[in-house]
């Protein structure tokens, strides 16, 4: 275990390089550069993950100011080296449990996402036409990705209207009661899958629950969700169907009869997209502009 002197030296070295190194608990906030606004400080307190999560050798580091074009949240290993949350965090934990990386905490609207085309794929706020993107209203669940998965844009899914993959990791909608933080790595179990079709591209939504949730032991499949979280599956489908309408775009569609598929189908999706990711990182398929670092 590092001594207090070593920890202080580490923080000092980080400060010299302009880093805001996130440790937990936040006992030394005064040491770090003062945020540019009260909103930025509130953003960090509420929505940025603690450094040490389920894997004690994983930390996160901010670069830039929240809600700016240059803001990034990087993942670091135990030696302080940058790693990719997409490629380097393992998917499988065994016994049907998976790692889930939080990009967007529930009850927030900033459209945060892993930058798949940047080295080490940090989390950033999405940009369109040079402007930061926000959902028209808050998302009601923790939202993020399954590491080591990829929706292959060259693969036409015959079960979902022949739609091609959207070239991104698989999305997760985590329905637990706790609001997570950006960069949290949660242990989740899948419960259902929704086959969203966004402008002709297949964009899977895996519905899952964190093992830390008080009701996690009660829900193990789609029917349990309806029993203990009534209306949630329909609410998720409707949210993702309609969120683009306020911007003047058409509603998204859903395959598989416009209904959620069960846990077994969700596990099938995870397996297939994990296999697609393996081909990607082995360069068996073209990576295009995607970063494999």
Active-site annotation, residues = 135
Q: What does residue 6 show for φ and ψ, rounded to 5 degrees?
A: -65, -45
CA separation for the pair 126, 208 (Å, rounded)? 24
Read off φ and ψ for residue 261, nearest 5 degrees. -95, 160
Contact 216, 176 (CB under 8 A): yes
Q: Residue 164 belongs to what H/E stretch?
A: strand 163-165
Q: What angle do CA 74, 78, 83 make, to 5 degrees?
A: 35
Give dist(CA 239, CA 67) in Å, integer.
Answer: 23
The alpha carbons of the chain give a radius of gyration, in whole angstroms, of: 19
């Amino acid at each position: 275990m590092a001594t207090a002197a070593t920890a202080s030296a580490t923080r000092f070295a980080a400060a010299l390089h302009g880093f805001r190194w996130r440790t937990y608990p936040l006992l030394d906030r005064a040491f770090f550069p003062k945020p540019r606004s009260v909103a930025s400080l509130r953003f960090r307190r509420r929505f940025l993950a603690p450094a040490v999560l389920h894997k004690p050798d994983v930390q996160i580091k901010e670069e830039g100011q929240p809600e700016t074009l240059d803001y990034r949240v990087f993942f670091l290993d135990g030696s302080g080296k940058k790693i990719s949350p997409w490629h380097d965090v393992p998917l499988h934990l065994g016994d049907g449990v998976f790692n889930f990386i939080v990009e967007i905490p529930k009850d927030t609207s900033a459209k945060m996402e892993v930058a798949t085309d940047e080295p080490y794929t940090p989390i950033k706020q999405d940009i369109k036409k040079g402007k930061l993107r926000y959902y028209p209203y808050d998302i009601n669940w923790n939202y993020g990705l399954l590491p080591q998965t990829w929706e292959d844009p060259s693969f036409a899914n015959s079960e979902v209207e022949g739609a091609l993959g959207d070239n991104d990791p698989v999305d997760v909608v985590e329905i637990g009661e706790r609001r997570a933080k950006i960069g949290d790595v949660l242990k989740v179990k899948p419960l259902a899958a929704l086959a969203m079709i966004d402008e002709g591209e297949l964009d899977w939504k895996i519905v899952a629950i964190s093992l830390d949730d008080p009701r996690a032991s009660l829900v193990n499949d789609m029917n349990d969700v309806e029993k203990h979280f009534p209306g949630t599956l329909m609410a998720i489908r409707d949210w993702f169907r309609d969120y683009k309408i306020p911007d003047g775009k058409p509603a998204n569609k859903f395959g598989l009869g416009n209904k959620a598929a069960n846990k077994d189908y969700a596990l099938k999706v995870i397996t297939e997209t994990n296999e697609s990711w393996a081909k990607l990182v082995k360069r068996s398929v073209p990576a295009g502009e995607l970063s494999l670092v």
